[in-house]
Amino acid sequence: MLEGIIAAVAGALFGMGGKVIYDTQRQSSAKHKIDKETALAERKASDIILKAKDEALATEKERRREWKKTEDRLAERETSLDKKLDELDKRAERLRKSEDEVEELKDEIRDIRKRQQEKLEKVAGLKKKDAADKLLQMTERDIKNDLVGLVNKLQNDAKEDAEDRAQTILLAAMERMSSEVTAERTVIAVKLTDDEMKGRIIGKEGRNIQAMQRATGVDFLVDDTPGMVVLSSFDPIRRQVARMGLEMLMKDGRIHPGRIEEVFAKAEKQIEKEVVRAGEDAAREVGVVGIPKEMLRLLGELKFRTSYGQNVLMHSTEMAHIAGMIAEEVGADVRTVKVATLLHDVGKAVTHKVEGKHHHIGAELARKYGMKDDVVHAIEAHHDDIEATTPEALVVRVVDAVSAARPGARNISAENFAERMRDLENVANSFPGIEKSYAISAGREVRVIVRPEKIDDLSSIKLARDIATKIESTMQYPGTIKVNVIRETRAIEFAK
């Protein structure tokens, strides 16, 4: 048994010893492999380092060659610049010498001219200034007639061109702008809902109609037109308040003094809103902003005002559109022209409250509410009593005449038209030497035929001016009137 144990122990020891020997061999082999790989890596690293050093050396050599070339070029350029500077110095020196020579020559020439002038003055007996004046007088005398003819020709050409251009601009603007013309009078007729309503409007002992007249300041005419109530007042705002309030009363059916005051107060507020809205709509339609609210309110009142049957607000809006077109063509300020034309008649909204002409009142209002001086001047100068000094003011004046004078814009009765024609002919006939006179073209022209034995050509020119001046001072008319004086001599003989 002991032997068995010893054998087992010996076997175990032998196994362990073999294992140890095997592990040692493996470690030795792995170490040898690692050493070999390390040596290989070191060789590769050494090769890479050597290669990098070689490349660095080559790059450095190339860079040094480039630096050398650059240094050579700079040296050459420096040498070239030195040469050029030397040449410039030499040239400057030559120029200085040339300038000195030129100055010497100038001095010599001045001396020669001075001696020649002194000799000429001694020979002619005239100083230089006197000779120049005499020469100018001779030249002016020789070419005076030619200059006068040339100036007249240029003036005539300018007038013809200006007239043609003005006609083209005005026609283009008028063709682009066409608006409806409305006519209103100083009365408004309101239709009654039934015959019984007339008595209710009058009221017991006339209390209702008296209350209406007190509340509005408008005359209510009940018995003049069957089935209608006529509202009469020179104030268009009051007429509109009366019309709206009466329609509200008839629709409600309750008509008594207390209710009348309440309804007409409500109608007045509604008309006030409509006035403000009308002014804002007009400014929006024309395309201008920044107009003071007070001016817009006065502008809105023009919706209910007329001039010769022409609605003033429509007239102003139409003018603003046309004025904007013309301003673009002639180079005037478009906004100034539009604002001035839109507000040019705003003084008519307060003429019954303020003394003075409407264009002066409108200008004062515009000035009061802080509007630009150009706008104020254009408003004030749109009639002939103030001289228009800016292009914008002239455009406003022209467009006002165009809008007011076009056919159908204003209602003029046949009696007034005939009277105007007679007045034009009577003005022409009041001068001596007139044979016949005719008012033609709807009063736009007066054709005057003179007696040739009493009026010569020069007198006919003066006569035309005198007739035009008298028409301007004694008559009121829109636009312009052409005075055409005709003088002809006829020689008649009969062959027998």
pLDDT in tens, 383-439: 777 788 888 888 888 888 777 655 555 555 555 667 778 888 888 888 988 988 888
Q: What share of the chain is helix, strand, coil (3-state, %, to 5)?
A: 70, 5, 20
Beta carbons of 437 and 447 less than 8 angstroms apart: yes
The answer for 133, left when phi > 0, alpha when psi is -120 to 50, beta otherwise, is alpha
% of the chain residues with pLDDT over 70: 80
Instruction: Map residue 102 onto helix, strand or coil.
Output: helix
Report pLDDT for 308.
65
Region 206-229 average pLDDT: 81
pLDDT band at 349 (very low <50, low <70, confident <90, very high): confident
Over the chain, what is the mean pLDDT? 79
User: Residue type at 423?
Assistant: D
Per-residue pLDDT for 229 more than 60? Answer: yes
Per-residue pLDDT for 13 more than 60? Answer: no
Q: What angle is formed at CA 347 by the lines to CA 342 and CA 348, rounded to 5 degrees? A: 95
Instruction: Map residue 369 onto helix, strand or coil.
Output: coil
Taking only the tens place, the pLDDT of each residue in 278-331 is: 888 888 888 888 888 888 888 888 887 777 667 788 888 888 888 888 888 888
Taking only the tens place, the pLDDT of each residue in 114-123 is: 887 777 777 6
In this structure, of 25-29, 57-61, 143-147, the range with the lowest mean pLDDT score is 143-147
User: Residue type at 156?
Assistant: N
Place of tokens 């008012």: 439
Instruction: Map residue 350 onto helix, strand or coil.
Output: coil
Beta carbons of 349 and 333 less than 8 angstroms apart: no
**Structure tokens belonging to residue 313:** 């607000």
Per-residue pLDDT for 61 more than 50? Answer: yes
Beta carbons of 486 and 448 less than 8 angstroms apart: yes
CA distance 193 to 209: 17
Instruction: Map residue 288 onto helix, strand or coil.
Output: coil
Report pLDDT for 315.
82
Per-residue pLDDT for 491 more than 50? Answer: yes
Report pLDDT for 10.
58
pLDDT band at 17 (very low <50, low <70, confident <90, very high): low
Higher-pLDDT residue of 180 and 125 is: 125
**Structure tokens belonging to residue 297:** 């309110």
Higher-pLDDT residue of 145 and 361 is: 361
Report pLDDT for 353.
65
| Beta bridge partner(s), residue 231 | 188, 220
CA distance 398 to 480: 11
CA distance 201 to 229: 9
Higher-pLDDT residue of 477 and 294 is: 294
**Contacts of range 146-150, beta carbons closer than 8 Å, 24 or more positions apart:** none
pLDDT band at 184 (very low <50, low <70, confident <90, very high): very low
Higher-pLDDT residue of 160 and 185 is: 160
**Structure tokens belonging to residue 160:** 């013809």
Region 364-374 average pLDDT: 89
Nearest to 222 by CA among 176, 181, 190: 190
Please write down the HEC assignment for all residues of 178-220. Answer: CCCCCCCCCEEEEECCCCHHHHHHHCHHHHHHHHHHHHHCCEE
Region 457-483 average pLDDT: 84
Per-residue pLDDT for 182 more than 50? Answer: no
The neighbour count for residue 254, using CB atoms within 10 Å, is 11
Region 78-102 average pLDDT: 89
Instruction: Map residue 275 onto helix, strand or coil.
Output: helix
CA distance 384 to 391: 15
Beta carbons of 379 and 340 less than 8 angstroms apart: yes
Q: Which pairing describes strands 306-307 and 445-450: parallel, antiparallel, or unpaired?
A: unpaired
CA distance 30 to 42: 18
**Structure tokens belonging to residue 46:** 């050494």
